[in-house]
Structure 1
């Protein structure tokens, strides 16, 4: 039939996207993604609108169906927009010879459908720029309006997103981000082990908590109730894992069953519903009322059960599901809106169970090691305190996820649904808050106790037991700013409450979050609380990017009426800015790993210093090493330790260099001491000394003056008679 040969005249304009940029994964393909009604109380309803253009094959596949209350002739107006700008407009009639369509000339009363494949002339293909097939997340819309042929009365209006199948939401990006978080955790762990037993040692930034917190910030930005460009929506979804949103069909099905048994509504809030739905942004249709939206759902469900008048049946027709905010973010990950909190709860439970099993397994290995062989002393502390290690690990996870947990709990309270889910949200939030409040009170109590006793809070860092218990809250802060962890906890709580509590109101979300982020930035700039300079600058830079990100989010708020072109440019700037910071953090993690591997072992350095101090502490007042004129290196070189170890000791002999005699055993009788001292002032019997035997008792014990000779008294005779002696000759 000739009518079918002219389908391209109406359908080809859907692919004329002129200067469009944004979309990525297939080869030269443009495709519509769902549709929304842009007119209420339409005389003609469209139940399905799928079009796909393959540039290589030069063909377009179309599938259009709908229903009409009466038979009537129509005129169609097709408008294509790219990044907020109109790039194509065409008005035609399905009854014209050039655009003849039998199914729509006139539109029949009841159901109608048109489905087929048509070739597209090169003249149309040449008008499509190549960039439309290459740029990720193509931001383009095609709108089809139907008007009465004898007037301008609007009969129907349908809008559809057009994309090229390419996107920044890539599994590779998620894997790289997860690898970064794992590397940061490994580096932080190695740094902690290197400083084990040393209280007050901070961890170099970026730490695991800082990296994970940054990923959470990007994910939270994507949850705001604003219309982002597709490129940023896809980018933010890559970091959903940091908030606990992980799509897992079997787990989602189990949650649906749980909600169904506890008062949840699964009609349009379940895994089964999402599999048969196409998500569209709620604000795309400004005049869409709730009644019209319900009609769309009803038409789509009825179409699954009703045979159309034409030869085509639409058994795979999908529901158009309008979403926004947190709901949009979660359901794009195949997680039903009502399952968000339960999903995070189960993921947290799985992590806690895995950590517990790993710690207990390590405990069993250590106990077995202790029974079978020599157990290293370094691991003795873990054997005694492994329950505390487990409790500390769980507390660290609670501190890391507290802001996210607050967000999902408040969101669960706001949306209702399952009563059991609300109870679990309230109980867990209360428990987590109580744990953090308890630790805060304990740390505050200890700090003020030692403040009274010692005049400062140094015990929080210098006392090994206190450091081991509470350092996870303040280990990277200066001693004067140990309390900064309290504003940090309040910041996480406030951010979660603002985003979840104001869900659905983009302006309130953006304004509230901007205030929260700005206050934290002011605190960091004022206090610079981190012990390391690198920690201060890295965290300040991260916070600056957070503030700038929220400023960019304000551009996307519908109430401000910013042009679509500006929104698109801002979305690209936001992606580039956050990607650059993420790359810098990855580089810094690698640098920290290299520094840890190359620097001196602090334990070995500490042992050397202790040995040196212990050696100097052995000096006695009569020891020649105590001389101020003696060089320490000279002392080490002339040390008699080697000769003593060989069995000899230094014995000074008059008029001769120092000789060495066999060392006498320790504890031998005092007569040796008397024998040695009795010979003072007289020429010793060299043979007896060298042989190491006992000296004969002296015959004459009369005291004598010491043989002291001064340089200017070489010829002095102490007895006042006799010839002068030669220099150096003993009297």
Structure 2
């Protein structure tokens, strides 16, 4: 029985392995297929409802599924087929339809047809397709079919279909992976943030900031290669852009905008690739419609197209109904240079690629932010109820009011962190919404969101400024009440560089402003952003704001990455007319640099997660690299919160520091220095009076004290000499006068 079960288990394992290998082999078949279909000229003769074509390299076959109709009688046309790959016209042929299929397509028959088939293409066609076209992700290629009337030269139909090979840098697995990393960083930060010196919360801000920088780098008015735009889409969620082709939220936003004066295009479930400006990737073409070709094919070279005669006719469907159905469904739309539905570079292409209309972008961010705030509020309420129940059931030495105060300080600090994370995306899309002038309700919500995020982030800054004016910058690190709610802003910086957080927030504000204010010029956006990044880099080198050298190196590395990647994107400026293949190569390089940077940030996050305690020496045995203070130790991850304020220790659940919070002045009469100018006569030949009220600390004593013999020592004299020894009393003598005494000493 056991043997039979074991045999069945092995058979199942073998069958599973075979099926898995078969699925992989099928998925890796070299093929090209249509990813979008649009009219490149208003249709007059040929109406297309569906046009799916796939080319399989292994058997050199073309499979197609087409639903179309010819609605004009007595039209003789020639067909021009154009295949453009990375801006190069690899195939540009003209087919005389009267010379194939025995003249069945001349004149063009007037009927609907719906059919699918697989045809074998000649070797002359396959030789034009390079092998790399099947392997490079986010292929930039399109096929164009143009029907031109014989004699007049009028274009009767023009259809464009973008091609894909199935590979893309935009992967759901990548989105989930980077999202899970952010979630783990969040949980770690929640645990470590019980103390303001923990690095976990700051590394969370660094990680989310990097994600947002990558996503925002695809929002400029540049001709991005498709491979980089797809890579940046993996981080769209960091800008709170959550959507799907069947999202009900987008439909609700469409309805809201329609009721409040919205007139721009709505979101759709179709691919946005077909609506991209034809001068941009993936089209890379300045000439959209071509009416001629460089070569022609005879009926012998395309004898395989005889299978077209087997297409099924559908006479039961009237032509008028077909025309109305095609126009209403909008499955194949007309996209020309003069069309209003053309997607321009930057933010419109980016958000439409994830099925969010340009006019819906801010409302998507706004709704997702409300959901995030609802989750945050629920967790805060749950935590408060748990704290209340714990204090009801157990007896604590600490006061309940103090526990509540610490909890609310914890909540205030995390509210500030949440505001700092949402600061960038809200500013970007609020500013951009103001430039659209679409829906008055969307504009109203954008103003509310803008003011709300300013209150969350800038109000603590105002309070910090007040504290500095009242007590100085040192109060930001010593006053427990101030530290509890404002530490996320400046605690990672040195005391004399506390203001560096304002520089970083100002840079974030300017980045968002440039995306919207200079959206008509990509080169202006790049130059202004590059100036900001270089300024941050120089500021880090000159000011060295962090408490440790390692933190300065880490922040400088991130600044260098931003400067380098921003500089490389000058190759995407449309007016520079960089060819498609170099642009793709540069886009891949930028994506690789950002990917490596993400791994570095993750490694740094793990390094400061507490795991380093297992192999690092006790932090107390290492001297600080810059600041000779307890704050340096705190920056390196030590959990001991040294404070000169006793209430700070209580707020974090530790015993009060017995160190007094101020220096105790000494009695001036006791600390009066000795004056050697006035000799003093002592009784019994003693050099020091036991009951004297004066002491000598660090003063120059008379020379006779160095050699005058003392009487029989008493307890007080021994104590006096011990005191002088421990306080480093300076004894004065000269080797010329007392060499024996100097040798003895």
TM-score (norm 2): 0.67
Distance, in Å, in 2 between the alignment partners of 1:485 and 1:491 is 10
Distance, in Å, in 2 between the alignment partners of 1:485 and 1:343 is 29
Cα–Cα, structure 1 residues 447 and 139, in superposed 2: closer, same or farther, change >3 Å? same
- 2:266 pairs with 1:269: yes
User: Cα deviations across residues 97-125 of structure 1 (Å, max 9, x unaligned)?
Assistant: 4x76734x2346x7765743132157468
- 1:85 alignment partner, one of 82, 88, 95: 88
Asked whether the equivalents of residues 279 and 332 of structure 1 are also in contact (C-alpha less than 8 Å), the reply is no
Higher Cα radius of gyration: 1
Distance, in Å, in 2 between the alignment partners of 1:554 and 1:244 is 27
Find the counterpart in structure 2 of residue 9 from structure 1. Answer: none
Return 471-480 or 67-76, whichever deviates more.
67-76
Distance, in Å, in 2 between the alignment partners of 1:69 and 1:559 is 42
Cα–Cα, structure 1 residues 495 and 232, in superposed 2: closer, same or farther, change >3 Å? same
Find the counterpart in structure 1 of residue 602 from structure 2. Answer: 586
Find the counterpart in structure 2 of residue 319 from structure 1. Answer: 333
Deviation at 1:329, TM superposition (A): 1.3
Cα–Cα, structure 1 residues 246 and 304, in superposed 2: closer, same or farther, change >3 Å? farther
Cα–Cα, structure 1 residues 52 and 511, in superposed 2: closer, same or farther, change >3 Å? same
Cα–Cα, structure 1 residues 353 and 71, in superposed 2: closer, same or farther, change >3 Å? same
Local SS of the residue matching 1:32: strand
Asked whether the equivalents of residues 391 and 400 of structure 2 are also in contact (C-alpha less than 8 Å), the reply is no
Deviation at 1:69, TM superposition (A): 6.3
Cα–Cα, structure 1 residues 305 and 174, in superposed 2: closer, same or farther, change >3 Å? farther
Local SS of the residue matching 1:351: helix
- Runs of at least 5 residues in structure 2 that lack an aligned partner in the other structure: 1-25, 280-284, 290-316, 335-340, 620-637, 643-648, 660-713, 715-745
Distance, in Å, in 1 between the alignment partners of 2:612 and 2:512 is 36
Deviation at 1:87, TM superposition (A): 2.6
Find the counterpart in structure 2 of residue 34 from structure 1. Answer: 36
Distance, in Å, in 2 between the alignment partners of 1:536 and 1:205 is 17
Local SS of the residue matching 2:583: helix
Deviation at 1:441, TM superposition (A): 2.1
Local SS of the residue matching 1:317: coil
Asked whether the equivalents of residues 524 and 540 of structure 1 are also in contact (C-alpha less than 8 Å), the reply is yes
Deviation at 1:205, TM superposition (A): 9.0
Deviation at 1:223, TM superposition (A): 1.9
Aligned length: 560
Deviation at 1:435, TM superposition (A): 4.0
Distance, in Å, in 2 between the alignment partners of 1:438 and 1:391 is 12
User: Cα deviations across residues 505-537 of structure 1 (Å, max 9, x unaligned)?
Assistant: 333332332233233223223222122222222
Deviation at 1:63, TM superposition (A): 2.1
Asked whether the equivalents of residues 204 and 534 of structure 1 are also in contact (C-alpha less than 8 Å), the reply is no
Find the counterpart in structure 1 of residue 704 from structure 2. Answer: none
- 2:478 alignment partner, one of 453, 459, 462: 462
Cα–Cα, structure 1 residues 27 and 361, in superposed 2: closer, same or farther, change >3 Å? same
Deviation at 1:206, TM superposition (A): 6.6
Find the counterpart in structure 2 of residue 120 from structure 1. Answer: 120
Cα–Cα, structure 1 residues 70 and 514, in superposed 2: closer, same or farther, change >3 Å? farther
Asked whether the equivalents of residues 147 and 155 of structure 2 are also in contact (C-alpha less than 8 Å), the reply is yes
Asked whether the equivalents of residues 412 and 485 of structure 2 are also in contact (C-alpha less than 8 Å), the reply is no
Asked whether the equivalents of residues 77 and 107 of structure 2 are also in contact (C-alpha less than 8 Å), the reply is yes
Asked whether the equivalents of residues 72 and 107 of structure 1 are also in contact (C-alpha less than 8 Å), the reply is yes
- 2:541 pairs with 1:525: yes
Distance, in Å, in 2 between the alignment partners of 1:305 and 1:507 is 49
Deviation at 1:388, TM superposition (A): 3.8
- 2:574 alignment partner, one of 533, 558, 561: 558
- 2:79 pairs with 1:76: yes
Asked whether the equivalents of residues 205 and 534 of structure 1 are also in contact (C-alpha less than 8 Å), the reply is no
Find the counterpart in structure 2 of residue 212 from structure 1. Answer: 208
Distance, in Å, in 2 between the alignment partners of 1:488 and 1:418 is 33
Local SS of the residue matching 2:607: helix
Asked whether the equivalents of residues 38 and 286 of structure 1 are also in contact (C-alpha less than 8 Å), the reply is no
Asked whether the equivalents of residues 78 and 147 of structure 2 are also in contact (C-alpha less than 8 Å), the reply is yes
Find the counterpart in structure 2 of residue 227 from structure 1. Answer: 223
Find the counterpart in structure 2 of residue 132 from structure 1. Answer: 133
Cα–Cα, structure 1 residues 306 and 208, in superposed 2: closer, same or farther, change >3 Å? farther
User: Cα deviations across residues 585-612 of structure 1 (Å, max 9, x unaligned)?
Assistant: 22222222222566669567989x9999
Distance, in Å, in 1 between the alignment partners of 2:589 and 2:272 is 32
Local SS of the residue matching 1:207: helix
TM-score (norm 1): 0.68
- 2:449 alignment partner, one of 428, 435, 440: 428
- Report 1:505-516 matches (<5 A): 505-516=521-532
Distance, in Å, in 1 between the alignment partners of 2:256 and 2:328 is 32
- 1:392 alignment partner, one of 413, 431, 450: 413
- Runs of at least 5 residues in structure 1 that lack an aligned partner in the other structure: 1-23, 290-302, 452-456, 615-705, 707-731
Deviation at 1:484, TM superposition (A): 1.3
Find the counterpart in structure 2 of residue 649 from structure 1. Answer: none
Asked whether the equivalents of residues 79 and 90 of structure 1 are also in contact (C-alpha less than 8 Å), the reply is yes
Deviation at 1:36, TM superposition (A): 4.7
Asked whether the equivalents of residues 67 and 112 of structure 1 are also in contact (C-alpha less than 8 Å), the reply is yes
Find the counterpart in structure 2 of residue 282 from structure 1. Answer: 277
- 2:553 pairs with 1:537: yes
Distance, in Å, in 1 between the alignment partners of 2:258 and 2:366 is 17
Asked whether the equivalents of residues 356 and 390 of structure 1 are also in contact (C-alpha less than 8 Å), the reply is no
**C-alpha RMSD of the superposition:** 3.8
Deviation at 1:406, TM superposition (A): 1.0
Cα–Cα, structure 1 residues 546 and 262, in superposed 2: closer, same or farther, change >3 Å? same
Asked whether the equivalents of residues 305 and 315 of structure 1 are also in contact (C-alpha less than 8 Å), the reply is no
Deviation at 1:543, TM superposition (A): 1.9
- 2:612 alignment partner, one of 595, 619, 634: 595
- 2:458 alignment partner, one of 410, 433, 437: 437
Local SS of the residue matching 1:322: coil
Asked whether the equivalents of residues 202 and 531 of structure 1 are also in contact (C-alpha less than 8 Å), the reply is no
User: Cα deviations across residues 608-659 of structure 1 (Å, max 9, x unaligned)?
Assistant: x999999xxxxxxxxxxxxxxxxxxxxxxxxxxxxxxxxxxxxxxxxxxxxx
Distance, in Å, in 1 between the alignment partners of 2:40 and 2:439 is 33
